[in-house]
Amino acid sequence: RKEVEQDPGPFNVPEGATVAFNCTYSNSASQSFFWYRQDCRKEPKLLMSVYSSGNEDGRFTAQLNRASQYISLLIRDSKLSDSATYLCVVHMDSNYQLIWGAGTKLIIKP
Amino acid sequence: DTAVSQTPKYLVTQMGNDKSIKCEQNLGHDTMYWYKQDSKKFLKIMFSYNNKELIINETVPNRFSPKSPDKAHLNLHINSLELGDSAVYFCASSQDLGGRTEAFFGQGTRLTVV
């Protein structure tokens, strides 16, 4: 089982719709969680950190479920500019490493 | 004003050659990384340096040798390039070693070995 798994997609979603995708992680000792966004042929950039209590940033909401070992990202009122690959990242203090998922590709259609 | 810059952006070279990729960050961060992103889009850490010291050295062929002359620079030298080395190589930096803070990435170097 991969350490961090994501549905690769692509998710084809009409503009204005709400879309959600999950990421599962295998190591229960994981301590920090992030969503990064990567546009085509560009570098990854931090979208948001994921806190235990869940957090929201505008149209984006991130949730953490430690019991089931997954994190989720919800995008409301999707825009064409949201088209990108969304990378789930998990971190453990014990080994200083960030473990990256392969990403979920999102395509917003007009 | 680019925070993490790496050069070159594109690199096409023949098998067996030796090449270097340079990386510099002007964020004052203590930790720098090299990642490889293959055709399946997995980002895999190769090396991590903290204050010029090697912290993480994943299972990477010893043809890959990082060099950190100071904490703002982390260069990657690759000897005897192979076809399988073709990928996008990203340099990144973060404030702390633990990875709890945001990682800032360079624009990537697209290496093609022919």
Tens-digit pLDDT profile for residues B79-88: 999 999 999 9
Residues 28-87 of B with CB under 8 A from A: 40-45, 48, 55-56
Quick one: which of B37, B46, B47 has its CA closest to B86?
Answer: B37
pLDDT above 70: percentage of residues in chain A? 95
User: Taking CA atoms, what residue in A is nearest to B57?
Assistant: A97
User: What is residue B13's predicted lDDT score, i.e. its pLDDT?
Assistant: 97
Nearest to B100 among A32, A43, A45 (CB): A32
C-alpha pair distances (Å), B76 with each of A74, B65, B103: 37, 6, 18
Nearest to B40 among A43, A98, A102 (CB): A102
Mutate to test the interface with B, among A96, A100, A104 (most CBs of B within 10 A): A96
B88 contacts A44 by C-beta, under 8 angstroms: no
Q: Which residues in chain A are contacts of B106 at CB distance < 8 A?
A: 43
Q: Which residues in chain A are contacts of B40 at CB distance < 8 A?
A: 102
**CB contact (8 A) between residue A42 and residue B45:** no
pLDDT at A22 over 80: yes
Other Cβ atoms less than 10 A from the Cβ of B86: the count is 17
Q: Which residues in chain A are contacts of B108 at CB distance < 8 A?
A: 41-43
A101 contacts A37 by C-beta, under 8 angstroms: no
Quick one: which of B33, B20, B27, B19 has its CA closest to B3?
Answer: B27
User: Can you tell me whether residue B83 is helix, strand or coil?
Assistant: helix
d(CA B68, CA B50): 10
Question: How confident is residue A24, by pLDDT bands cut at 50, 70 and 90?
Answer: very high
Look up residue A58 and give its two tokens.
Answer: 């505008």
Poorest-confidence range of A49-53, A82-86, B3-7, B26-30?
A: A49-53
**CB contact (8 A) between residue B56 and residue A96:** yes
Distance from A109 to chain B by nearest Cα, in Å?
Answer: 23
pLDDT digits (tens, 9 = 90+) for B87-101: 999 999 998 776 678
A-B CB pairs within 8 A amount to: 46
d(CA B113, CA B85): 7
